[in-house]
Amino acid sequence: MLQERKFLKGPELRDIDDYDFPGFQKALEMGPEAIVEEISKSGLLGRGGAGFPTGKKWELAYQEEGENKYIICNADEGEPGTFKDRYLLDERTLKVLEGIMIGAYTIDADTGYIYIRGEYSRQIEILEETLQKARKAGILGEDILGSNFSFDIKLVRGAGCYVCGDETSLLNSLEGMRGSSRSKPPYPISKGLYGCPTLVNNVESLACSAEILNQGAEKFASMGTEESSGTKLVSLSGDINFPGVYEVEFGSASLQEIIEDLGGGSQQGQEIKFIIPGGLSTPIVPSDNLQAEYSYEGLQQAGSSVGSGGMMVISTAQELSDILTRIARFYMDESCGTCLPCREGNKQIYRIISEAKYAGLTVDRLNLIQDIGDTMQEAARCGLGRSAQLPIGTILSEYKEELIEGGNLP
Amino acid sequence: MINLTVDNKEVTVEPNSTILEAASKVNVNIPTLCFSDDLTVYGGCRLCVVEVEGSDRLRPACNTRAREGMEVKTHSPRVREVRKTLFELIIASHDISCELNCLICNRQNSCQLKDVAEDIGISRMCLTPGADEERESDHSSHSVVREPNKCINCARCIRKCEEIQGVGVFAQASRGPETKVTTFKDRGMGNVECTNCGQCVVSCPTGALHEVYHMDQVWESLYDEQKHVIVQTAPSVRVALAESFGEEPGTIATGQMVAALRRLGFDRVFDTNFTADLTIMEEATEVVNRVTNNDNLPVLTSCSPGWIKYIEHFYPDYLQHLSSAKSPQQMFGAVAKTYYAENAGIDPEDLVVVSIMPCTAKKFEASRPEMNDDVDYVLTTREAARMLKSVGVDVCNLEPEKYDEMLGVSSGAGDIFGASGGVMEAAVRTAYNMITGVNLQEIEVTPVRGLEGLKSAEIPVTDDLTLKVGVAHGLNNAGIMMEKIKAGEEFHFVEMMACPGGCISGGGQPINTERSWREVREKRIAGLYDIDENKELRLSHENPKIQKLYEEFLQEPGSSKAHKLLHTEYVTRGVPGT
C-alpha cells in the first residue's frame, strides 16, 4: 500500500513567532556559491511544469551582473487540475517565504515579488498577513537577522489570465502591461523585470529549496530515482474518491497505485478511461498504461510528462466530446492573442470540435485538427501555444475510432 | 563573422544577424507579415519559421540569431506544411463577404497577404473563412479609417506609432480570438492623441487602415457644371504618383500628372509649390523678424499638419514658437478663394479647391475651423491614382503638360519642401537674401539633407549672425528635438516633419511592399533634388508670380493682409487620460 512520503508536507506553518527559518539561517552561513551547489546537488527540477534544473537557474541568475536583480515567486497557479501551490501557500506559508528569501540572498536580489493567482483570495489574505508580520519581526527589511542582507517582498495579484503563469507574460503583467508572452531570447534570467536580471521560480520549487537547505541535498537526492530526485506534490482530482494534494516520492509508485491507494480509486467503481498526469497541458495516459512509474522518465516513457503534477482522472462516465469541447474552449479563451498559430489555431480547433459534438467527427476534420495542432507545436511563440494541442491531440489519436464512429450523436 | 548554411548555400554574416538577414544575403525569400525592417521584431505571425538542424521545433527566422555552423532549411516539407496551415489560419480568421473581399479592397494592388499567398503557393483551403464577430469600423478621425475586420493583429501599426512616431495611440486589448487593436478606452482615432500622420496606414500589410476618402465628393464636384474645380498638387506627389502605375519610386512625372488631372476634368491645374514659395516668403520674413528681436526662438516650422497636432498634444507650452504661417496647402486655399476667384471672376461659393497630397493629416488640416474651408477636399496620392485609373488614364503614357500659370509657377525651393530638410533649405535661401540683400553663393544647404533623424547646420549670414538651424523628421525625432530645446540647446530655426524622410514618405503615398523603406525614401528624395537642380528658378523670392501676387494683392510679406489670409493660430490639446 502506497504511503505519502512527507518532505514538503507538514503541519500548518504560519506563525512567524514559532519559526526560526533554519534553511535561511543555514543559507547565510553557507554563502551563495555553496547554496547553488547544494541546490544543484539535490537534482531539484522546476516544479511549475517545464522541469528546468533549479540549481542551474540559480547559478545563472547568481552569475548575472546588475544593479537591480529581482526574484519572483510564481504563484499564478492556473494550470487546470493543479492546486498544490495553494496547499503550500495555505499550510506551509513560511516555507515558501523562506525559499524566496534564500533565492534572493543567493542571487543578491533586494526586491522580490509574489505574483499570485487573483482567485486565491484566502491565500492572498494569508500572505498579506505573513509579509506584514515578517517585516515586523525583522525577517524582511533592512539587515535581516544581522546578516547585512536587506530584502522585501511585494505581493501582486493576477487578474485572471492563464498565460500569466508563463514567466515572460507574468513579467509583462507585473510591469503593468498586457499579459502576453515576450520573445526569448533575451531570457528573464538576463533581462527580466524592467530589463533587469530576474529569477522566476514556482512556489513548490521555492518551498523545496528551503527544505533542501534545511534537511540537506543528500536527503532529497536519496529519494526518488536517478533522474527524478525527491518528492512531488500531486494534485489529484477527477473521477476518484479522495481528491487532494498528495506528496509522492518519485519512482515509488505507479500511476495506478497513486489513483488507487491515495485517491481511493475511481468513483462508484467506474472504469478509468485515461488520466491527464501533469496538468491540462500534458498528453493523456490511457488506462492500459497506468502501470507507468511516477517519475520524469517513467511518464516520458508513457508518452507524457510530470508537468505541474496536476493529475486528472477521467472515467468512462464522461463524454469525450464534452471533455474535448471544454479543453478546446479553455485554450481558445486563454491564448494571449499575440501569435497567430495559438490565437487562430485554438479558435479553429474549438470550432471544429464544437461542431463535431453534434455532427460527428470525420477523418478529414480529425486530420485538420492534427495539422493545426502540429503547426501550433512547431511554430507557436510560447509554451502555452506549443502545448495547448497536447491533450486534445492525444485524446483524438487514442480514441479516434470511437470519436469518428459514434460521433456522440444523441 | 559567422558562417552558416541556408538551404545548403554557405553564407557569412555579422555577429547578431538573424536567420532572415542571412537568408536575404543569399537571395532566399522567406515570407513575413509582422516583420518590418524599420520596426522592432515582434515574432507574432510565425510565417518566417524555418528548420534549424538539431532543433526540436521550427524557429522564427526574424527572431533567431545566426550561429556558427548552423544549418538552416527555409523551405523543407516540414516548413512548407506549417506555413500553409499558418496562412490558412490567417485567411480563415476573416469573413469573405460583399463588404470584405479583395476585389473592392483599397489594397488590391499592394496587399501583403496576397504577396505571401503567392510566396507560399497555397491553392486550396480546408478551413471555412469566417469571423466570430463583426467589428465596427472606426470613422472618428478626419484622416484615417480603421476597418478591424481586415486586421490580422500583426501589430505593425502599434509599433510604427510607438517606435517611429513616439505617439502610441494603438494598443492590443482583450485576449484569445477577441484580441484587437484599439485606442485608449476604445475612443477611436479621432478622439485620442493621433496626429493623423497615416504612418500606420503605410505600415499596414492589409487594408485595415486607409485614409478617409474624399474621392466621391471630388467626383461629384467634377460632374457639377455649376462648379469651377481647381486642383493643387503637393511637391512629393510628382515623384511618387507614377509608382501606382508601375514605375520606380522617385520617377518624376510632373508634366504627365498635370495632363492626367486635366483629363480627369479639373478646370485648372495648379501647384502647391507655388504656395510653398509663398510660405517661404512669409515664414522667412517671420524668422528674420524673430531672430532680430530674439522673439520666442527657435522658430518651429508649421507646414506639417501631423507635427502641428503632435506639438498641440505633447508640447502645448511651445505653441508660441511655431511659425504662424499656414502650410502651403492652406495658403493655396486662401489665395485661390480670394485672389484667384477675383481675377477669374468666379464666385468663391462656386469654386471648389481640391488638393492632392502625400499626406493623410492634410485632410484634418483642411477641416480645422481656423482654415475656413479654403480647401474643400484633400486627395492622397493613392486616391488620385485610383481616380485616374477609373477614367482609363495611365499617367506614364501621357504627353507632359504645364501647370496653369497664375498659381502654377514655382521655384526649385518649393519642390524640395517634400524632403526632410527641404523647407529649411528653401527658407535659408530666402532669409539670407532678406538679411543681406544678396543671394547665397552656394544655395544648396547639404548638411540638412538626407535621412539622418536629427540634423543641424550653422550658416554664417553676417559678421554678427550665424544662423543655427535644426531638422527633425519622424515624430519620435521631433520629440527628441523638443527635449533638446527644452534642455536649453539653442537654435534659431527648426524644421519639423511628422513623417520619416519628410512628405515623400507621407501616410498618403503609394505603398511599396517590395522594397525597403530606406530605398523608397532615398529614391523619392533624389527625384525632388533632381527637379530643383534642373530648374532655373531655385529661389522663392525670385518667383515672378509670387512677386506679382504681392504687388497686385498682398502688398508685402508680413503685411496685415498677408497676416489675415496666410497666417493662423494653434490649439492646446494635451493628452487624453493624463
Q: Would you call B499 helix, strand, or coil by DSSP?
A: coil
Q: Does residue A113 carry a pLDDT above 70? A: yes
| Pairing of β A310-315 and β B49-52 | unpaired
Co-location of B188 and B224 in the same domain: no
Q: What is the CATH number of the domain that holds B430?
A: 3.40.50.1780
Average pLDDT, rounded, for chain B: 95
DSSP state of B339: I
* In a domain? residue B299: yes
Chosen domain end from B211, B226, B252: B211
Chain segment B468-514, per-residue pLDDT in tens = 999 999 999 999 999 999 999 999 999 999 999 999 999 999 999 88
Q: Which residues of B touch A163 (CB under 8 A)?
A: 175
Range of the domain at B102: 1-131
Q: What is the CATH number of the domain that holds B6?
A: 3.10.20.740
A124's grid cell: 492572498
Query: How much is the average pLDDT of A106-113?
Result: 96
Sequential DSSP letters for A251-272: TS-BHHHIIIIIT-SBGGGPPE
Chain segment A185-226, per-residue pLDDT in tens = 889 999 999 999 999 999 999 999 999 999 999 999 999 999
Using the Cβ of B124 and the Cβ atoms of chain A, whether some distance falls under 8 Å is answered with no
CA nearest B155 in A: which residue?
A338
Residue B19 sits at φ, ψ, to 5 deg, of -60, -35
CA nearest A163 in B: which residue?
B175
Residues in chain A: 410
Chain segment A121-166, per-residue pLDDT in tens = 999 999 999 999 999 999 999 999 889 999 999 999 999 899 999 9
Chain segment A165-185, per-residue pLDDT in tens = 999 999 999 999 999 888 888
Q: What's the pLDDT at A383?
A: 87
Has domain A320-406 been given CATH number 2.20.130.10? Answer: no
Q: Which one of the listed residues B160, B326, B362, B523 is annotated catalytic?
A: B362
Chain segment A314-366, per-residue pLDDT in tens = 999 999 999 999 999 999 999 999 999 999 999 999 999 998 877 788 888 99
Query: Residue B362 catalytic?
Result: yes
Return all residues near A337 (Cβ < 8 A) that are at least 6 apart.
Answer: A180, A343, B153, B172, B174, B175, B176, B177, B178, B179
Return all residues near B200 (Cβ < 8 A) that are at least 6 apart.
Answer: B144, B156, B157, B160, B161, B170, B209, B507
Give the model's confidence band at A401: pLDDT under 50 very low, under 70 low, under 90 confident, else very high.
confident
Query: Residue B503 catalytic?
Result: yes
State the number of CA atoms in the 13 A half-sphere of A249 facing the CB.
15
Q: What's the pLDDT at A406?
A: 58
Q: In whole angstroms, what is the distance from residue A208 CA to residue A67 CA? A: 28
Chain segment B207-250, per-residue pLDDT in tens = 999 999 999 999 999 999 999 999 999 999 999 999 999 999 99
Query: Residue B197 catalytic?
Result: no
Q: Does residue B314 carry a pLDDT above 80? A: yes
Using the Cβ of B389 and the Cβ atoms of chain A, whether some distance falls under 8 Å is answered with no
Co-location of B489 and B380 in the same domain: yes
Q: In whole angstroms, what is the distance from residue A228 CA to residue B401 CA? A: 83
Chain segment B262-309, per-residue pLDDT in tens = 999 999 999 999 999 999 999 999 999 999 999 999 999 999 999 999
Helices A93-107 and A84-91 cross at an angle (nearest 10°) of 100
Q: Give the other-Cβ count within 10 Å of B530's Cβ.
A: 15
Using the Cβ of B93 and the Cβ atoms of chain A, whether some distance falls under 8 Å is answered with yes
DSSP state of A68: S
Co-location of B392 and B456 in the same domain: yes
Give the model's confidence band at B320: pLDDT under 50 very low, under 70 low, under 90 confident, else very high.
very high
- C-alpha distance from A340 to closest chain B C-alpha (Å): 5
* In a domain? residue B136: no
Q: Does residue B576 carry a pLDDT above 80? A: no
Query: Residue B370 catalytic?
Result: yes
Q: Which of A334, A372, A377 sits opposite B176 (nearest CB)?
A: A334
Q: Does residue B114 carry a pLDDT above 50? A: yes
Q: In whole angstroms, what is the distance from residue A399 CA to residue A286 CA? A: 10
* In a domain? residue B15: yes
Q: Does residue B135 carry a pLDDT above 50? A: yes
Q: Judge contact between A298 and A251, C-beta under 8 A.
A: yes
* In a domain? residue B571: no
CATH topology (fold) of A16-222 = Rossmann fold (3.40.50)
- C-alpha distance from A15 to closest chain B C-alpha (Å): 40
Co-location of B389 and B428 in the same domain: yes
> How many domains does chain B divide into?
3
What's domain A231-315's architecture? Roll (3.10)
Listed by number, the residues of chain B in 527-566 with a beta carbon closer than 8 Å to a beta carbon of chain A are none
Q: What is the CATH number of the domain that holds B199?
A: 3.30.70.20
- C-alpha distance from A321 to closest chain B C-alpha (Å): 20
- A178–B89: do the CB atoms touch at under 8 Å? no
Q: Which one of the listed residues B203, B323, B420, B456 is annotated catalytic?
A: B323
Domain residue spans in chain A? 16-222, 231-315, 320-406
- A381–B46: do the CB atoms touch at under 8 Å? yes
Query: Residue B97 catalytic?
Result: no
Q: In whole angstroms, what is the distance from residue A278 CA to residue A285 CA? A: 10
Co-location of B443 and B457 in the same domain: yes
Sequential DSSP letters for B552-577: III-STT-HHHHHHHB--------TT
Co-location of B229 and B192 in the same domain: no
Q: What's the pLDDT at B513?
A: 87
Average pLDDT, rounded, for chain A: 94
Q: What's the pLDDT at B354?
A: 98
Chain segment B14-69, per-residue pLDDT in tens = 999 999 999 999 999 999 999 999 999 999 999 999 999 999 999 999 999 999 99
Query: Residue B283 catalytic?
Result: yes
Q: What's the pLDDT at A410?
A: 40
B315's grid cell: 508640447
Co-location of B113 and B195 in the same domain: no
Q: Judge contact between B576 and B193, C-beta under 8 A.
A: yes
Using the Cβ of B90 and the Cβ atoms of chain A, whether some distance falls under 8 Å is answered with yes
Which of B358, B516, B465, B480 has its CA nearest to residue B422?
B358
Co-location of B117 and B157 in the same domain: no
Query: Residue B221 catalytic?
Result: no
B269's grid cell: 491645374
Chain segment B395-451, per-residue pLDDT in tens = 999 999 999 999 999 999 999 999 999 999 999 999 999 999 999 999 999 999 999
State the number of CA atoms in the 13 A half-sphere of A277 facing the CB.
29
Query: Residue B303 catalytic?
Result: yes
Co-location of B456 and B424 in the same domain: yes
Which segments within A243-368 are labelled E, that is strand?
Answer: 244-249, 272-276, 285-286, 310-315
**What separation, in Å, do the N-terminal and C-terminal C-alpha atoms of chain A show?**
42
Co-location of B403 and B544 in the same domain: yes
- C-alpha distance from B9 to closest chain A C-alpha (Å): 24
* In a domain? residue B577: no
Q: In whole angstroms, what is the distance from residue B378 CA to residue B362 CA? A: 7
Q: How many helices (H) and strands (E) does chain B have?
A: 19, 17
Return all residues near B349 (Cβ < 8 A) that are at least 6 apart.
Answer: none
Co-location of B228 and B206 in the same domain: no
Q: Which one of the listed residues B147, B365, B425, B495 is annotated catalytic?
A: B365
Co-location of B222 and B122 in the same domain: no
Helices A389-398 and A363-379 cross at an angle (nearest 10°) of 150
Return all residues near A35 (Cβ < 8 A) that are at least 6 apart.
Answer: A27, A58, A102, A105, A106, A213
Q: Which of A337, A375, A381 sits opposite B175 (nearest CB)?
A: A337
Q: Give the other-Cβ count within 10 Å of B76's Cβ.
A: 14
Q: Which residues of B touch A386 (CB under 8 A)?
A: 57
Give the model's confidence band at A409: pLDDT under 50 very low, under 70 low, under 90 confident, else very high.
very low
Chain segment A33-57, per-residue pLDDT in tens = 999 999 999 999 999 988 899 999 9
- C-alpha distance from A382 to closest chain B C-alpha (Å): 11
Beta bridge partners of B468: B458
Secondary structure of B126-154 in the HEC alphabet? CCCCCCCCCCCCECCCCCEEECHHHCCCC
